[in-house]
Structure 1
Amino acid sequence: MNRFKGRLLNHLTSVDRTGSVSVIEEALRYNCTPASIYNSVITPVMVDLGELWHGGRITIAHEHHASQIVDGLINMVVQKSQRLSINGLRALVTSPSGENHWIGAKIFANLLFLEGWDVEYIGVDIPAEDLTIYLEEVEVDVVAFSVVLPGNIMSVEDAVSTIESLDNPPFVILGGPAFKGFSGEIGKAVIVDNFATGLTVLQDAMGIGAGNLSLQDTLLGVGGKVLEIRRAKG
């Protein structure tokens, strides 16, 4: 996957949409799973782009243009991949108040869709109170939060608290760079370290199969699940 990652980064820093598309198309031809493309190619490339911008090696205009190209690539992966049969489960994917990074949430929403979920992706920066009102009107089995900035952990804590106050609260899963090195607990929510882990945790919690995950993705998810269990045991 490293060769795809390196080529994609080169094309994006040159804001080359055609070249970027060709990299993802090739990865799909090599039967790379959506989870592996998202987790091992697109996500780390976006991290690299952010570091290039912070280091002054590309402008904010370049970074924004690259992000728009990536949005198209994220959509292309789901459009060119086979969706599993509908599993009857419904998930809501979002980010808490103050969190404006959208890529992680959108990627996870797409992966759930491919796994047969009915997915409500409602965007980012959603206040806890508004989300709770929405959940009182729309029944879902799972709420997934993507959090990039550690400063937004308090916001997601508020959101989880209000969700768990509902009469029949959904299963809550949290993920994103904000939780790197985080060893605490946030209500009854499960914290995961990557997309594959998130899918594995939900498959286990909801009693469904492995779906579109490859063996490598599954092992990655199992490793994350073991980490989550160890955290729970202290």
Structure 2
Amino acid sequence: MYDYARHLAMEFLKGDHFTSWSLIQQQIDDGMSSYFIFDYVLRDAMFYIGHMWENNEIGVADEHLATSICDYVLTRYSFDRHPLTNREKRAMFFCVEGEEHYLGAKMASSLFQEAGWDVKYLGPNLPLEYAIFNAKKWRPDVIGLSITLPLHLPKLKDYVYSLEHLPHRPKVIVGSRLIEKYDFTPFISNQTVLAKEVTDIEPFIEQYLMKVIE
């Protein structure tokens, strides 16, 4: 793990907004990309906190505090990005029903927004019927789903099938740290994009940016 991430994790657990942001600002000043900051700083910091929780080194309240500080840092970081002005493409992100771990979906939405997409982030725990309603109404080109717990895998199949078969045929991206441990084949189609980390969506976004430049 990147040592910087452990340092940041400790500041999250202290509830220190100021120092947490200053650590991220240092990464920005050092020229680190959004992909690096999201995957190897913010994500790894939260993974470390999760490891501490699993080993009873911290409690649930500590984990919630750390999540709130990470959310603050991510929101501030995204606000400071200067996206392209082109808004021809739309993307919608959320977590499947019952899924409360939302930071990955929020990071993905931030990256698409930074690349110039018109983005709607619908947050955690979104039932399928509401996802379908919003997708039909807004017609996003891309729909990103986040899932982190194995117990939610069975419902993923209905989400992917229902969303990929909407009349406007959006591209579905499934983001999950479970990809390296579980076979997702029964729950997705051969059209679904899998992303174990936010860096995995970089080629997808870069392809879009090349089309905009052309």
Per the normalisation by structure 2, the TM-score is 0.89
Superposed, 1:14-29 pairs within 5 Å as 14-29=14-29
Query: 3-state SS of the aligned residue for 2:50?
Result: helix
Encode CA deviations 1:182-206: one digit per residue, 9 max, x unaligned.
33420231112211211313443xx
Say whether residues 1:194 and 2:188 are aligned partners: no
Question: What stretches of structure 2 of length at least 5 have no aligned partner?
Answer: none
Give the Cα separation in 1 of the matches to 2:84 and 2:54.
40
8 Å contact kept, 1:34–1:77: no
Give the Cα separation in 2 of the matches to 1:23 and 1:44.
14
Number of aligned pairs? 209
More deviation in 3-12 or 56-65?
3-12
Give the Cα separation in 2 of the matches to 1:41 and 1:6.
8
8 Å contact kept, 2:9–2:66: no
Superposed, 1:110-121 pairs within 5 Å as 110-121=110-121
Quick one: which amino acid aligns to residue 17 of structure 2? R
RMSD: 2.0
The match for 1:13 is 13
The match for 1:2 is 2
8 Å contact kept, 1:98–1:155: no
Per the normalisation by structure 1, the TM-score is 0.82
Q: How far off is 1:87 after superposition?
A: 4.5
Q: How far off is 1:91 after superposition?
A: 0.2
Superposed, 1:217-232 pairs within 5 Å as none
8 Å contact kept, 1:108–1:195: yes
Give the Cα separation in 2 of the matches to 1:192 and 1:162.
20
Give the Cα separation in 2 of the matches to 1:11 and 1:135.
38
Superposed, 1:16-165 pairs within 5 Å as 16-165=16-165
Fraction of identical pairs, as percent: 24
Give the Cα separation in 1 of the matches to 2:205 and 2:80.
24
Query: 3-state SS of the aligned residue for 2:110?
Result: helix
